[in-house]
């Protein structure tokens, strides 16, 4: 795949390309220096700076020498290591989306450290770097194993990385719910906190950077040949599998070193290589030098801005979260200026579940009836079979009279949310021609969640959120989902909605959402508790009125689907055929986008931003033989509903008296199944 080149803004096209990059670099460097001097001046008078560097005396000089200066050096080293790791990942995989965060490497390392902190705190403190390295390697092996049959093609690797990242994150959220008092500090650290107390982390990172840089230059020739097609590289005597594994192992080791030292910092490994290329580093050897420098500069500016605007030392705001706060918009702007690229996945008929055969109308009716019977059975099971003080048992009529008021609303709300997510995912796949599209993976659910987070923040926490009526919450999530969807499609318009561009926009918006949440939760208080409970997808607070509203929204929105059948059949064919057939392109797309946003918003209010129902249900419907739009929608809706009803029941009963939220259980169940589908797909 040819990596997309970045086009400069129109007002600056009269400048030589290298001059534009030099101006940008100079501006970043001047900003970093100015912020650093201002932050240092806030800690210590300028007359004492030299003394603090040589032989510190007094509290303030010791703070500068043992905390501020190590943090400055660590920001340089972490940025450089992430820039180097991102360059290796992107070169070896021929994938502009590849970086430690999108490949699941950072998430695997963080989950390993979280588990070790709970199981063996002493071991986690003594051997944290090795534990992080082990978690990173396990996550990387899982990602590359899932995409191996597809030849490590860019889009399957990116999807596998996103699935592993979400799965590791879901397990981390579950642990955070159960062990919140023990993991609060770890959560802030895991967001990418650069706070230091001595020079040990800087020494370790400098050693890893030196070793990793030397190893990268030893592998320079094999990695250069990865820019060629596999057949050409083979003809030049390159052992593709062995060299690819060696280079990937090096990048994983570098990524794990950063996670073990400061937590997860995203976007540096994604942004540094294209910025180095824009600066004129065309050859791989040049990029292996320029990308670490760009990464160091980006993280330097981000960390100094955090210290400037969140207190003298910036202790409570993780730098990794702040990096995503400004890195996501920057990546969206860069994405909007990318030149058109080739499409990397199959046409709209493709599916993770394979092509299969189209079933007859009679077979589809029988399968729809079987799904509805299974859904009714799951509803009955969730109402009458539960776990109590006396163990598993069937509830009698007398008990049902007391517990139905609690169980029925949750089950019905989960049913409505699952159906709406499944329909939204099907519409997105049909509209974009991308079998990887879903509200969860493309950031639409994250946009809906951003709207609700803004509402919670604006209404001053939990009390204001509870006081807000249903219409206010629904309006906030709908606007957030629609804004995210419009942004994704707008930023990928130049590439004709090529899947890798759509996915990159979704990754950026999803990371922006995670950054906002991390900043909100780091503040603690009732606002953090409200966000954690809702983000995990809990139906615990669902009332009969909430369930009735969810069902009403589901029925009302589903009633619009028959009117979209013709659009869904014609729009994936392209603009010219659609216009020739008399389809109003702009109006049809806008109507479908609005319907997707409303469906996603209503479902996100109930089960949070993660569930995987929107991705899995459309593919299962195709696996059942549904090829036409309405047939696929008819089978996807009960499939998604069944998934979340079972997830809600399992979350209520498995760990009684504790509960796991429905969205979290659906993710824990759905992600492994999706991994199986990815592993089978060529």
- Mean pLDDT of all residues in 24-37: 86
Task: Kindly report the number of other CB atoms within 10 A of residue 471's CB atom.
Answer: 9
Position 344 confidence tier, pLDDT thresholds 50, 70, 90: very low
Are 602 and 557 in contact by the 8 Å Cβ rule? The answer is yes
Q: Tell me which DSSP letter residue 68 carries.
A: I
Indicate the CATH number of 361-575+586-680 among 1.10.10.10, 1.10.3470.10, 3.10.100.10, 3.40.50.2020. Answer: 1.10.3470.10
Rounded distance, CA 116 to CA 132, Å? Answer: 9
- CA gap 586, 11 in Å, rounded: 29
User: For residue 679, is pLDDT > 50?
Assistant: yes
Say which residue, 412 or 525, is predicted with more confidence: 412
> What pLDDT was estimated at residue 221?
84
Q: What is the DSSP string of 503-543?
A: HHHHHHHHHHHHHHHHHHHHT-HHHHHHHHHHHTT--TT--
Residue bearing the bigger pLDDT, 589 or 412: 412
Please state, in angstroms and rounded to a whole number, the distance separating the CA atoms of residues 282 and 98.
Answer: 18
Percent of the chain with pLDDT over 90: 12
Chain-centre distance for alpha carbon 357: 33
pLDDT in the model for residue 197: 83
| Strand locations in 159-280 (E) | none
Q: Which comes out higher in pLDDT, residue 474 or 339?
A: 474
Lowest average pLDDT, out of 78-87, 102-111, 346-355, 628-637, goes to: 346-355
Q: Would you say residue 3 has pLDDT above 70? A: no
Of 611, 664, 606, nearest to 639 by C-alpha is 611
- Residue 434 in contact with residue 497, Cβ under 8 Å? yes
Q: What is the pLDDT of residue 236?
A: 61
* Stretch 148-168: mean pLDDT: 75
Residue 129's pLDDT is: 77
**So what's the pLDDT on residue 482?**
79
Q: Label residue 2 exposed, middle or buried (CB < 10 Å: 0-12, 13-18, 19+).
A: exposed
Mean pLDDT of 624-648: 88
Q: Tell me the C-alpha distance between 554 and 556, whole Å.
A: 6
What is the structure's pLDDT at 519? Answer: 64
Measuring CA to CA, which residue among 86, 87, 402, 70 is closest to residue 205? 70
Q: Tell me which of 134 and 478 has the higher pLDDT.
A: 134
Kindly give the residue spans of alpha helices, DSSP state H, lying in 523-611. Answer: 525-535, 544-558, 565-570, 575-580, 585-607
| Residue 443 predicted with pLDDT over 70 | yes
* Mean pLDDT value across the chain: 77
Per-residue pLDDT at 43 exceeds 90: no
As a whole number of Å, the end-to-end CA separation of the chain is 18
Domain boundaries of the chain, sorted by first residue: 15-46+74-336, 361-575+586-680
pLDDT tops 60 at residue 15: no
DSSP one-letter code for 561: G
**What is the per-residue pLDDT across 545-581, written as a single tens digit (0 to 9) for each?**
888 888 998 999 989 888 888 888 777 776 677 777 7
Locate 341 and state its tokens: 């690229």
The residue that leads in pLDDT, 121 or 48, is: 48
What's the CATH code, domain 15-46+74-336? 1.10.3470.10
pLDDT by residue (tens digit) across 214-227? Answer: 999 998 888 888 76
Task: Return the residue matching tokens 């609005």.
Answer: 594
361-575+586-680 has the same fold as 15-46+74-336: yes
Identity of the highest mean pLDDT range in 39-48, 74-83, 300-309: 74-83
pLDDT at 373: 94
Residue 555: Cβ within 10 Å count: 11
Of 505, 453, 499, which is closest to residue 484 (Cα–Cα)? Answer: 505
Q: What are 597's two structure tokens?
A: 């946003």
Q: What would the mean pLDDT of 189-210 be, rounded to a whole number?
A: 84
Average pLDDT over residues 36-42: 87
């Amino acid at each position: 795949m040819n990596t997309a080149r970045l086009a400069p803004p129109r007002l600056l096209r009269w400048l030589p390309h290298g001059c534009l990059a030099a101006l940008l670099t100079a501006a970043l460097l001047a900003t970093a220096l100015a912020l650093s001097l201002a932050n240092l001046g806030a800690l210590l008078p300028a007359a004492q700076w030299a003394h603090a560097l040589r032989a510190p005396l007094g509290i303030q000089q010791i703070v500068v020498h043992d905390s501020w200066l190590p943090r400055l050096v660590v920001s340089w080293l972490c940025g450089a290591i992430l820039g180097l790791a991102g360059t290796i990942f992107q070169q070896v995989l021929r994938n502009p989306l590849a970086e430690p965060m999108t490949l699941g490497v950072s998430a695997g390392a963080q989950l390993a450290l979280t588990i070790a902190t709970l199981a063996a705190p002493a071991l986690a403190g003594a051997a944290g770097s090795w534990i992080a390295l082990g978690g990173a390697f396990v996550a990387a092996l899982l990602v590359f194993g899932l995409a191996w049959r597809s030849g490590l093609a860019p889009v399957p690797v990116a999807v596998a990385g996103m699935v592993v990242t979400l799965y590791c994150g879901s397990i981390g959220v579950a642990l955070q719910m159960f062990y919140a008092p023990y993991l609060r500090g770890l959560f802030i650290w895991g967001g990418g906190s650069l706070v230091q107390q001595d020079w040990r982390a800087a020494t370790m990172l400098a050693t890893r950077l030196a070793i990793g840089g030397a190893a990268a230059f030893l592998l320079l020739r094999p990695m250069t040949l990865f820019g060629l097609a596999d057949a050409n590289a083979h003809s030049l005597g390159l052992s593709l599998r062995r060299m690819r594994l060696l280079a990937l192992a090096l990048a994983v080791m570098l990524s794990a070193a950063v996670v073990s030292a400061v937590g997860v910092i995203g976007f540096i490994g994604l942004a540094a290589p294209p910025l180095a290329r824009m600066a004129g580093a065309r050859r791989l050897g040049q990029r292996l030098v320029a990308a670490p420098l760009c990464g160091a500069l980006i993280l330097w500016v981000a960390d100094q801005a955090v210290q400037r605007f969140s207190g003298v030392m910036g202790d409570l705001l993780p730098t990794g979260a702040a990096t995503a706060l400004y890195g996501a918009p920057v990546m969206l702007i860069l994405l909007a200026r990318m030149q058109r690229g080739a499409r990397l996945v199959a046409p709209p008929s493709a599916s993770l579940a394979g092509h299969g055969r189209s079933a007859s109308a009679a077979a589809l009716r029988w399968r729809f009836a079987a799904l509805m019977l299974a859904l009714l059975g799951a509803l009955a099971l969730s109402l009458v079979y539960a776990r109590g003080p006396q163990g598993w048992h069937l509830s009698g009529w007398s008990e049902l009279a007391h517990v139905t008021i609690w169980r029925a609303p949750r089950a019905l709300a989960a049913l409505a949310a699952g159906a709406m997510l499944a329909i939204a995912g099907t519409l997105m796949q049909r509209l974009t021609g991308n079998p990887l599209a879903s509200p969860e993976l493309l950031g639409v659910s994250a946009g809906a969640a951003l709207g609700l987070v803004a509402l919670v923040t604006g209404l001053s926490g939990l009390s204001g959120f509870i006081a807000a009526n249903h219409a206010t919450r629904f309006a906030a999530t709908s606007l957030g989902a629609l804004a995210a969807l419009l942004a994704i499609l707008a930023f990928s318009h130049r590439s004709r909605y090529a899947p890798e561009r759509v996915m990159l926009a979704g990754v950026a918006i999803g990371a922006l959402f995670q950054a906002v949440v991390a900043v909100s939760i780091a503040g603690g208080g009732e606002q953090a508790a409200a966000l954690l409970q809702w983000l995990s997808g809990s139906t615990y607070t669902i009332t009969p009125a909430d369930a009735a509203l969810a069902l009403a929204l589901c029925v009302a929105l589903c009633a619009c689907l028959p009117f979209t059948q013709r659009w869904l059949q014609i729009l994936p064919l392209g603009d010219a055929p659609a216009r020739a057939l008399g389809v109003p392109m702009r109006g049809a797309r806008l109507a479908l986008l609005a319907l997707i946003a409303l469906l996603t918003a209503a479902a996100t209010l109930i089960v949070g931003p993660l569930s995987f129902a929107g991705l899995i249900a459309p593919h299962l419907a195709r696996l059942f033989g549904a090829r036409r739009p309405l047939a696929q929608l008819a089978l996807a809706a009960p499939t998604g509903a069944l998934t979340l009803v079972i997830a809600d029941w399992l979350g209520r009963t498995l760990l009684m008296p504790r509960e796991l939220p429905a969205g979290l259980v659906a993710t824990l169940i759905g992600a492994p199944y999706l991994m199986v589908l990815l592993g089978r797909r060529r």
